[in-house]
A and B are shown apart, each in its own frame.
Chain A
Amino acid sequence: MTTIDLTINTDLVRKILTGFIRTEITRMGFERAVVGLSGGIDSALSCYLTAEALGPQNVLAVRMPYRTSSPDSLEDAQKVIDALGVPSITIPITEMVEPLFERFPDMSAVRRGNIMARARMIVLYDQSAAFGGLVVGTGNKTEILLGYTTLYGDSACAINPLGDLYKTQVRQLARAMGVPESILTKPPSADLWKGQTDEGELGFTYAEVDRLLYLLVDERFSPEECIEAGFTPEFVHVVTERIRRNQFKRVPPIIAKLSNRTVGYDFLYLRDWGT
């Protein structure tokens, strides 16, 4: 098996990411941020980084439990709030989503999960307006590449500090920043239904898939070279197909080109234009 080392220098990453959050929020005319805290490791880390970047008083942590959400999730989120001293608000989404669930009683767990993720997005963006802060995202590189995310749901944000860190690296940085132990060690879960775990749903562990993604994406290995490096053909096939099928989640809606100058094709500016 090829040696793959995903270890990062956490001091360096911490400096770059806090600088990124501070710069990219203040240059848009804001001083504050809003983070949805699920009780999981990704949102905990985003909250730690944002609090360090802007000062804890400028970060609003929002907890958005559903009726069946695990009580541990709420508690773990509370640990982050207490440790950082950030203001917080708890807004259950149960009353928002249940009427739609009742209207379609046969709705699949995935549909219900997507609705919950999008209801949380609505709450978060409303709190963004109320608190006067930008929404800081929590999606990591592994879930972005695998498309393990709800479009316009948990993936919606103004800036994303974690999007170029694999889950394995998120764990490393979260540990270095002092995220509570119970959050570091529990199995990752979207907590959209009882007993759901990321690794159960995906069918492989983050530790395994991160190593494969690193070869495919960062090291530009072909699928054949990954198999030569020791991964099974089935696993390589499943993962490369997932990456391909989910490209639509990684791009803005495609625009049909008609004119000589079209947004996205030949009307090209950074978001930071003029700042």
Chain B
Amino acid sequence: MKLTLALAQINTRLGVPQANLEKHLALIRDAHQQGADLILFPELSLTGYVLQDLVPRVAHRPVADDPLFAPLLEASHHLDIMVGFVEEDRRSRFYIAAAYLSQGEVRHVHRKVYLPTYGLFDEGRYFAWGDAIQAFDTRFGRVGMLICEDFWHASPPYLLWLDGADLFLFASASPGRGLSQDERLESARWVDHINRAYASLFTAFVAHTNRVGYEDGLNFWGGSAVYDPNGKVLAQAPYHEEALLLTEIDLNQLHRTRYRLPLLRDERTALVQRELNRILGQRQSNSGR
């Protein structure tokens, strides 16, 4: 089965969801006309990233009568859509979230589990932690979504893999940092390395969509890319420029790669569980330097 992905590497307006929605709808139309089956937007694509005290003002619920989600759900009759937004739950906790929309329905919502609160990041000050990492079924097979810091940790992709995901959808708003002689920023190089590693180790497809633009002095570096189950880069968008990157992926590559390299078949999950129980049961052994 072949599937055309569209990675929408966009800039956003900070704290103006309506303006960002219009941009989403225009790109969804473009991608649809170009034959895309699934369009992927970056982290917080409907709101912008450094929201600080704007968080409560831009929060939405992913339901049919929400003014942001109604037109997106309508558009999802043409192609599947992953969008980034601020979710407010029924008890007014705020999450960095990604929603997967298909055929007029919300198929899955992932709430960011790992909120970086160090260095230039302050997400834990404003947002609640997500508490679940789950794959879900789509018309293209089983899929998993993660948001930025989620896949800087090795365990969330691993859990999605065990939960059946063959296509990993990663969304970022990654601020560029780390200068050297390299033509790429350190943050860009790092994310490329780990995404290539996940595709290789899990013999799966990885599609990473990162945003571009500036918020005050922060630059977002783009470089969105798709990796195949051999760890090969199938397509990559430019750095620091808006782009709509379309790539066809052949899901049958899973069949070919996994026969050659049966890492999934041979994964000793019961052993992992046993050892995890043991390790987490003896707390002092994994703490300290």
Interface residues of A (CB under 8 A from B): 5, 7-9, 11-13, 15-16, 19-20, 23-24, 163-164, 169, 266-275
Dominant SS among interface residues on chain A: loop
Shortest 4 CB-CB distances between A and B: which pairs?
Answer: A268-B52, A23-B214, A270-B216, A8-B179
In the bound assembly, the distance between CA atoms of A8 and B179 in angstroms comes to 6
Given contacts A24-B214, A267-B53, A273 and B181 within 8 Å (CB-CB): no
Tell me which residues across on chain B come within 8 A of A20, comparing CB atoms. Answer: 214, 217, 219
In the bound assembly, the distance between CA atoms of A23 and B215 in angstroms comes to 9
Does the CB pair A13–B179 fall under 8 Å?
Answer: yes
Tell me which residues across on chain A come within 8 A of B14, comparing CB atoms. Answer: 270, 272-275
Residue among A9, A11, A266 with the most chain B CB within 10 A? A9
Question: Smallest CB–CB gap between A202 and chain B, Å?
Answer: 24
Residue among A11, A266, A272 with the most chain B CB within 10 A? A272
Given contacts A270-B50, A275-B13, A5 and B217 within 8 Å (CB-CB): no
Tell me which residues across on chain A come within 8 A of B50, comparing CB atoms. Answer: 270
In the bound assembly, the distance between CA atoms of A11 and B240 in angstroms comes to 13
Does the CB pair B184–A269 fall under 8 Å?
Answer: no
Tell me which residues across on chain A come within 8 A of B216, comparing CB atoms. Answer: 24, 270-272
Q: Does B183 contact A (CB under 8 A)?
A: yes
Does the CB pair B176–A16 fall under 8 Å?
Answer: yes
User: How many residues of B sit at the interface, in one of the four size bands?
Assistant: 20 to 34
Known: A5-B181, A19-B219, A274-B16. 11 other contacts (CB 8 A): A9-B180, A11-B183, A12-B179, A16-B219, A16-B240, A20-B217, A267-B53, A269-B54, A270-B14, A273-B54, A274-B15
The answer, among B183, B213, B239, for a CB contact under 8 Å with A23, is B213
Tell me which residues across on chain B come within 8 A of A8, comparing CB atoms. Answer: 179-181
Q: Does B182 contact A (CB under 8 A)?
A: yes
Q: Does B185 contact A (CB under 8 A)?
A: yes
Tell me which residues across on chain B come within 8 A of A272, comparing CB atoms. Answer: 14, 214-216
Q: What are 6 pairs between A and B in contact, CB < 8 Å? A: A5-B180, A9-B180, A12-B182, A15-B239, A16-B176, A268-B52
In the bound assembly, the distance between CA atoms of A11 and B185 in angstroms comes to 12
In the bound assembly, the distance between CA atoms of A229 and B50 in angstroms comes to 37
Nearest opposing residue in chain A for B11, CB measure: A23
Tell me which residues across on chain B come within 8 A of A11, comparing CB atoms. Answer: 183
Nearest opposing residue in chain A for B13, CB measure: A275
Within 8 A of A (CB), among B45-85: 50, 52-54
Tell me which residues across on chain A come within 8 A of B184, comparing CB atoms. Answer: 12
Question: Smallest CB–CB gap between A144 and chain B, Å?
Answer: 13
B79-96 vs A: 1/0 string, CB under 8 Å? 000000000000000000
In the bound assembly, the distance between CA atoms of A24 and B176 in angstroms comes to 16
